[in-house]
Structure 1
Amino acid sequence: MTGTGRAAVAPPAGRVADRVGAGDWDALAAELDEHGSALTGPLLSPDECHEIAALYDDTDRFRTTVDMAQHRFGSGQYRYFTHELPSAVRELRAAFYPRLLPIARDWAGRLGQPAPWPDSLEEWVAMCHAAGQAKSAQILLRYGPGDWNALHRDVFGEMLFPLQVVVGLDAPGVDFTGGEFIMTEQRPRAQSRGSSTTLPQGHGLVFTTRDRPVASKRGWSTGPMRHGVSTVRSGRRHTLGLVFHDAA
């Protein structure tokens, strides 16, 4: 699967929760089943995207900054928000959780795995904190020319939610070139398979944190997946990462 850019479209009117809910969630769930990722419709306007991206320079909003080259994660930089999240970030996370929860439970059922996630995001976060995962994992990322993100998984402890979301904050082909979102899937007794998606400004990409269920002759098995970002060729690329478990 190779994603292509989309022209900017004004998000649906109303609250953030209404915008998230306006998606065709049956189609999104089917695409997640097939590919491990699924592109949403518009969630934020260009102005809203710019407001979130501009927060990057307000260091008081973040608990830590990570230099990817220093840790050999790639090249570029990202920052973890404190628990005092900007309203748009908080509302997006709260709106996505109940939409993703049935998919997470369905995947766990197929794989014969525990499904510990309660109906409430607040209760799930409290469970993470009780298990020693008490640091905010919401991420604002910034890439410049030559920057990239190595293939990885965002697993921060035993308490894990199997899906997460990245929201594009800049316009591909206008604000930057390159910087496609990439995923690889490790297939049994076969070469790994890759995909790339160009993330339109204001749209979200839902993707698996660790793996997806894959049908086999013996039933369901896990298809391990990793994600990253291809090299940015020009300009500057900001994205917002929404993670539904906190970090240790």
Structure 2
Amino acid sequence: MTLSATADTELDWADVATQLDAEGYALLPRMFAPDHAHELAGQVDTLKSLRRVSLDSVDLGRGDILRFGSSLPAPWAAWRAGFYRKLAPIANRWNETMDVGYRYPAELDEFIQRNREAGQTQPQSHLSRLRVGDYLTLHQSSAGEHVFPLQVVALLTESGKDFQGGEFVLTEQRPRMQSRPMVLPLRLGDVAVISTARRPFKGTKGFYRVNLKHAISRVRGGERIGAELSFHDAP
């Protein structure tokens, strides 16, 4: 599965898994060609099905997220299903490592059906629009019985040209240790797979769970547009 309109090679999923195991995120550079990324960014104004939510209204910062709804438009729906298919084996291996009995089905449709049966019916995938002074606070999307441990983020505008500031930030809290901050160096058209909330970490006495949150720092100029694909719905 390739997102770039110009690329004809498959992703190295073994390398993606290695990055996720080591850091809790995996960078996938230039998955979108620049023109394609800007075209997708334009959907914040052209997609009539998007539902605007003010970050201030949900106590998550300042700016807007624009939710896709239960039926993602093309091409996001196909990408979401394709990513899930490749990430489910990694998610199941993480659960096995953390001695969690739950196993994720191979296909997204079956997993979403489990969500609905558990009362998780609020879609979380969205575009985000942050202008000068806007930001997204540290948070994690971990509510509900069926939480997928990975999600996908993308940057659809160009840092330094379309906007300034607006860095994508992850923090990782390990037991009895200070939080570890990480800044993902996203560029126009880059995609990253990140840990939703928890992941296994190998310490000196074996594996234990670490807790992750993510945020976007304050935008100092211009307009930052990004995307976030979540594989589970909220209650």
Mark yes or no: TM-score above 0.5. Answer: yes
Which of 114, 122, 136 aligns to 1:127? It is: 114
Hey, what does 2:20 align to over in structure 1?
Answer: 32
Where 2:29 maps in the other structure, the secondary structure is: strand
1:97 corresponds to 2:90: no
Aligned-residue RMSD, C-alpha: 1.9
Give the Cα separation in 2 of the matches to 1:149 and 1:46. 24
Q: CA deviation at 1:65?
A: 2.4
Query: 1:46 and 2:34 equivalent?
Result: yes
Q: How does 1:120-159 map to 2 (within 5 A)?
A: 120-159=107-146
Tell whether the 8 Å contact from 1:155 to 1:210 is kept in structure 2 after alignment: yes
Q: Offset of 1:97 from its aligned partner?
A: 0.8
State how many pairs are aligned: 233
CA distance in 2, matches of 1:203, 1:237: 13
Distance in structure 2 (CA, Å) of the matches to 1:201 and 1:129? 35
Counterparts of residues 94-243 of structure 1 (less than 5 Å): 94-243=81-230
Secondary structure at the counterpart of residue 145 of structure 1: coil
Give 1:58 deviation, angstroms.
4.1
Runs of 4+ in 1 over 3 A off after TM superposition: none
TM-score of the superposition, structure 1-length normalised? 0.87
Deviation at 1:12, TM superposition (A): 5.6
CA distance, structure 2, for counterparts of residue 101 and residue 167 of structure 1: 19
Provide the rounded CA distance (Å) in 2 between the counterparts of 1:203 and 1:149. Answer: 19
- CA drift of 1:219 comes to 2.2
Quick one: distance in 2 between partners of 1:245 and 1:159?
7
DSSP-derived class of the 1:48 partner: helix
Q: 1:195, CA displacement in angstroms?
A: 0.6
- Residue pair 1:23, 1:41 contacting (<8 A) in 2 also: no
Identity of aligned residues (%): 36
Give yes or no for contact 1:165–1:204 (8 Å, CA) kept in 2.
yes
Question: What TM-score comes out, normalization by structure 2 length?
Answer: 0.92
* Structure 2, gaps ≥5 residues long: none
**Would the aligned equivalents of 1:186 and 1:192 in 2 still touch at CA under 8 Å?**
yes
Extract unaligned runs of 5+ from structure 1: 1-9
Query: Match for 1:196: what amino acid?
Result: V
Cα offset, 1:59, TM superposition: 6.2
Q: Is the 8 A contact 1:61 1:82 kept in 2?
A: yes
In 2, Cα distance between equivalents of 1:48 and 1:13: 10
CA–CA separation in structure 2 for the residues paired with 1:128 and 1:237:
31
